């Protein structure tokens, strides 16, 4: 199934390269250098541990950070291809260079108050209100919230999305209102990462052919949790509504269900049935941006007589973010709460997390090329899985990151 | 000699239009001076605050609009992912050039009845000017950047302009005549028509104060974070 995915991604890339006039390609990206200091006794999940930060005591100091390339190429008057790639070093990633998004978007000219958009390919579902920058980076901090970290790690849609928005300005009204529907495959393992590791906060998105080191290995061929696999040949869907007031204030609701069959087993991972409801709101007042998002759902795996799964865990998270921008400066404060609880099969594997996080970030945008940023992140709380490794469940981890980024 | 009068205007049209009109009281304060022919229009909102970027048109009563000459080409630029100006007023038949001062490509369109057009993806050199040959409000969008919003107000009026930051438009050296003064703002709720009143410039000059007795929508906001890519 990964080979099918590979063919899809290659086709989109080849179509884009073949059809697009190179001079019309819109290319953006960045390279960066990071200085990282970590205060945590736990090895990072990136290196197979159960620390929730992407860095740890043995992997901090000067890091090369990310290299992100984002290409947009018109294929025709109303059709365009978007292709995003990321290169990250030093994090045990299988592919140092990989694709994060590859899709074709149809943007017909609006002929009435309704604006239609359609996407085909691999892209993020419309959940995050933070990740709006090049390479799906957050505009407000370095590390996105726990919710949007997870979207970047596991919620990968490879399929089709259709949205329609009634644009209020065309009617002399302040309200835009719209709906979105997505149908996708290759997302059967979604849920396994937060089930085993718990919620985390990091900007390490998992690319289409990438994965995250598995904290609890069962065999020789399951070293990585890879989110983009099709195991049960069942399509998943999401459906949502969005309202925008005066083009500035936003409310977004989404229901996501990968319709996985928890009885189906794959080569490395089984199919997980993962469903959630997501709500997000943002308010923009002059230089101040306030964002709140919440998510609640469950994930299940394994055969059971009632078909609901042998292991089931409920999860929820929310965050509040305030960000103030003045001239070239931006200051952001965010508070995250995360919760996971096994509701079935805890005797086999008890997934249980109660944690909170504080993030404080300062971004200085010198010009359109240079960005300097500093971020302090503190995650504290309990993760029961640590006890399975003989560690205390409770931990407080802190991380300071300084980034110098050149965008082009 | 200075005199002051107040006129209460009503407008025929749709029932909705008439209802909305009833909410508005247009106060005209005429200040006469025998030595100058100047019309000054101050546009105020329902809280007596000045309304900038309101379109003011002044038409002599009984004049044939077709006789009004077409002006030179006008410019609607695109700067920092926004239409600049956000509101452009042109006489019917005026060609408008749409340059793109941004480094990214834009795709300008309108489906307004007064002018339907599409300018395919472009950056750098603009297309041939678009001729706005029917009066009315033309709402502009960019098919790439959904936040972009602009207006071209196309009018047959002989004299026209936009209110400044103080909400004032001034017409200099108008011939002595009776005129219809119309004011329109993209901030009027719904598809509201221009508000109209008659003034007599025989006792020129006049200072006209137009107060819109209904809440206006928020000012047009095309702004977004320049780092916003989605």
Q: Answer whether residue B13 shows pLDDT above 60.
A: no
Provide, as residue numbers in chain A, all residues whose Cβ is less than 8 Å from the Cβ of B111. 109-112, 170
Superfamily of domain B69-155, CATH level 4: Cupredoxins -  blue copper proteins (2.60.40.420)
Q: Name the minimum distance, in Å, from the CA of B11 to any CA of chain A.
A: 20
Cβ-Cβ contacts under 8 Å between A and B: the total is: 70
Facing B188 at nearest CB: one of A28, A110, A172: A172
**Residue of B174 and A160 predicted with greater confidence:** A160
Beta-carbon contacts of A11 under 8 Å, excluding residues fewer than 6 positions away, are none
Provide, as residue numbers in chain A, all residues whose Cβ is less than 8 Å from the Cβ of B121. 24, 74, 77
Q: Where do the structural domains in chain A lie, given as residue ranges?
A: 2-407
User: Would you call B143 and A248 a contact, using CB atoms and an 8 Å cutoff?
Assistant: no
pTM of the model: 0.89
Task: Provide the chain A residues 135-164 that lie in CB contact (below 8 A) with chain B.
Answer: 136, 139
Binning pLDDT at 50, 70 and 90, where does residue B92 land?
Answer: very high
Lowest mean pLDDT among A80-84, B14-18, B71-75: B14-18
Asked if the C-beta of B16 comes within 8 angstroms of chain A's C-beta atoms, the answer is no
pLDDT at B182 (0 to 100): 92
Fold of A2-407: Porin (2.40.160)
User: Would you call B143 and A139 a contact, using CB atoms and an 8 Å cutoff?
Assistant: no
User: Would you call B222 and A247 a contact, using CB atoms and an 8 Å cutoff?
Assistant: yes
Q: Could you give the CA distance from residue B101 to residue B159 in angstroms, rounded to a whole number?
A: 30
Residue intervals of chain B classified under CATH 2.60.40.1120 are 15-54+160-211
Alpha carbon B102 to its chain's center: 25
Provide, as residue numbers in chain B, all residues whose Cβ is less than 8 Å from the Cβ of A28. 229
Decide: residue A294, CB within 10 A, 0-12 exposed, 13-18 middle, 19+ buried. middle
pLDDT at B34 (0 to 100): 42
Alpha carbon A96 to its chain's center: 18
Read off the pLDDT of residues B41-58 as tens digits, 9 standing for 90 and up.
999 998 999 999 999 999
pLDDT at A320 (0 to 100): 98
Hey, which bits of A186-272 come out as E strands? Answer: 212-213, 224-225, 236-245, 249-257
SS3 B96: strand
pLDDT at A217 (0 to 100): 79
Low-confidence ranges of chain A (pLDDT < 50): none
User: Would you call B190 and A111 a contact, using CB atoms and an 8 Å cutoff?
Assistant: no
pLDDT at A162 (0 to 100): 98
Nearest CA in chain A to B103: A26
For B175-179, what is the mean pLDDT?
A: 85
pLDDT at B195 (0 to 100): 83
pLDDT at A354 (0 to 100): 98
Provide, as residue numbers in chain B, all residues whose Cβ is less than 8 Å from the Cβ of A252. none
Residue intervals of chain B classified under CATH 2.60.40.420 are 69-155
Q: Do the Cβ atoms of B210 and B41 come closer than 8 Å?
A: yes
Mutate to test the interface with B, among A82, A124, A247 (most CBs of B within 10 A): A247
CATH number for the region B15-54+160-211 comes to: 2.60.40.1120
For B68-94, what is the mean pLDDT?
A: 90
Q: Answer whether residue B26 shows pLDDT above 70.
A: no
pLDDT at B12 (0 to 100): 38
User: Would you call B191 and A112 a contact, using CB atoms and an 8 Å cutoff?
Assistant: no
β B130-132/A370-383 pair status: unpaired
The dihedral of CA A120, A126, A129, A131: what is its sign?
A: negative
Residue with tokens 């997390």: A353
For B111-132, what is the mean pLDDT?
A: 92
User: Would you call B149 and A247 a contact, using CB atoms and an 8 Å cutoff?
Assistant: yes
Q: Could you give the CA distance from residue A300 to residue A142 in angstroms, rounded to a whole number?
A: 31
Nearest CA in chain A to B224: A248
Asked if the C-beta of A303 comes within 8 angstroms of chain B's C-beta atoms, the answer is no
Residues in chain B: 230
Lowest mean pLDDT among A172-176, A325-329, B130-134, B210-214: B210-214
Q: Name the minimum distance, in Å, from the CA of B28 to any CA of chain A.
A: 26
Residue A194 phi/psi, 5-degree rounding, is -75, -25
**Residue of B190 and A86 predicted with greater confidence:** A86
Q: Name the minimum distance, in Å, from the CA of A337 to any CA of chain B.
A: 26
Opening angle at CA B63, ends B61 and B67, nearest 5:
155
User: Would you call A78 and B147 a contact, using CB atoms and an 8 Å cutoff?
Assistant: no
Facing A133 at nearest CB: one of B186, B188, B227: B227
Provide, as residue numbers in chain B, all residues whose Cβ is less than 8 Å from the Cβ of A139. 225, 227-228
Structure tokens at B12: 């025929």
Facing B139 at nearest CB: one of A132, A169, A247: A169
Provide, as residue numbers in chain A, all residues whose Cβ is less than 8 Å from the Cβ of B143. 78, 107, 109-110
Q: Answer whether residue B2 shows pLDDT above 60.
A: no
Quickly list H helices, A121-213.
Answer: 146-154, 192-196
pLDDT at B125 (0 to 100): 79
User: Would you call B191 and A70 a contact, using CB atoms and an 8 Å cutoff?
Assistant: no
Cα dihedral A149, A154, A158, A164 in deg (nearest 10): -40
H/E stretch holding A294 reads: strand A288-301
Asked if the C-beta of A114 comes within 8 angstroms of chain B's C-beta atoms, the answer is no
DSSP class of B193? P
């Amino acid at each position: 199934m990964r080979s099918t995915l590979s063919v899809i991604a290659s086709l989109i890339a080849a179509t884009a390269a073949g059809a697009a006039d190179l001079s019309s390609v819109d290319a953006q990206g960045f390279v960066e250098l990071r200085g990282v200091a970590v205060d945590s006794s736990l090895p990072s999940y990136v290196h197979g541990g159960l620390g929730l930060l992407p860095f740890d005591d043995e992997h901090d100091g000067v890091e090369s950070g990310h290299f992100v390339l984002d290409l947009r190429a018109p294929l025709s008057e109303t059709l365009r291809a978007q292709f995003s790639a990321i290169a990250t070093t030093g994090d045990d990633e299988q592919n140092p260079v990989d694709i994060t998004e590859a899709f074709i978007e149809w943007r017909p000219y609006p002929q009435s108050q309704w604006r239609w958009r359609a996407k085909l390919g691999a892209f993020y579902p419309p959940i995050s209100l933070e990740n709006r920058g090049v390479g799906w980076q957050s505009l407000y901090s370095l590390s996105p919230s726990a919710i949007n970290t997870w979207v970047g790690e596991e919620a990968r849609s490879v399929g089709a999305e259709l949205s329609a928005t009634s644009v209020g300005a065309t009617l002399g009204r302040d309200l835009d209102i719209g709906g979105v529907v997505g149908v996708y495959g290759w997302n059967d393992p979604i849920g396994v990462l937060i089930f085993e590791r718990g919620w985390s906060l990091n900007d390490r998105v998992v690319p289409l052919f990438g994965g995250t080191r598995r904290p609890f290995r069962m065999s020789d061929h399951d070293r990585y949790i890879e989110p983009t696999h099709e195991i049960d040949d069942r399509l998943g869907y999401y459906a949502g509504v969005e309202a925008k007031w005066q083009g500035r204030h936003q409310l977004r609701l989404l229901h996501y269900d990968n319709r996985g069959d928890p009885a189906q087993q794959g080569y490395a991972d089984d199919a997980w049935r993962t469903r959630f409801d997501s709500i997000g709101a943002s308010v923009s007042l002059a230089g101040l941006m306030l964002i709140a998002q919440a998510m609640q759902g469950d994930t299940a795996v394994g055969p059971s007589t009632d078909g609901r799964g042998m292991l089931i865990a409920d999860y929820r998270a929310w965050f509040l973010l305030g960000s103030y921008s003045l001239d070239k400066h931006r200051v952001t404060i965010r508070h995250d709460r995360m919760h996971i609880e096994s509701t079935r099969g805890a005797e086999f594997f008890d997934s249980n997390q109660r944690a909170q996080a504080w993030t404080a970030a300062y971004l200085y945008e010198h010009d359109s090329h240079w960005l300097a940023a500093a971020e302090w992140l503190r995650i504290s709380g309990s993760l029961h899985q640590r006890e399975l490794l003989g560690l205390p469940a409770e931990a407080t981890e802190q991380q300071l990151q300084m980034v110098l980024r050149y965008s082009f | 000699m200075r005199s002051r009068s107040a006129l209460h205007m009503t407008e025929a049209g749709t029932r909705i239009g008439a209802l909305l009109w009833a909410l508005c009281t247009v106060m005209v304060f005429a200040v006469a001076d025998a030595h100058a022919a100047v019309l000054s229009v101050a546009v105020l909102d329902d809280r007596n605050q000045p309304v900038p970027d309101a379109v003011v048109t002044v038409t002599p009563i009984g004049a044939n609009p077709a006789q009004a000459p077409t002006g030179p080409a006008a410019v609607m630029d695109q700067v920092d992912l926004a239409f600049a100006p956000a509101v452009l007023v042109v006489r019917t038949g005026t060609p408008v050039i749409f340059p793109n001062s941004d480094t990214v490509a834009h795709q300008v369109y309108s489906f307004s009845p007064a002018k339907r057009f599409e300018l395919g993806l472009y950056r750098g050199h603009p297309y041939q000017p678009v001729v706005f040959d029917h009066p009315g409000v033309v709402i502009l969008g960019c098919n790439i950047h959904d936040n972009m919003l602009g207006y071209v107000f196309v009018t047959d009026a002989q004299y026209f302009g936009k209110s400044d930051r103080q909400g004032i438009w001034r017409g200099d050296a108008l011939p002595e005549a009776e005129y219809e003064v119309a004011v329109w703002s993209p901030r009027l709720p719904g598809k509201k028509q221009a508000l109209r009143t008659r003034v007599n410039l025989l006792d020129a000059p006049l200072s006209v104060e137009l107060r819109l007795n209904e809440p206006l929508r928020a000012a047009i906001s095309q702004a977004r974070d320049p780092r916003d890519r989605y």
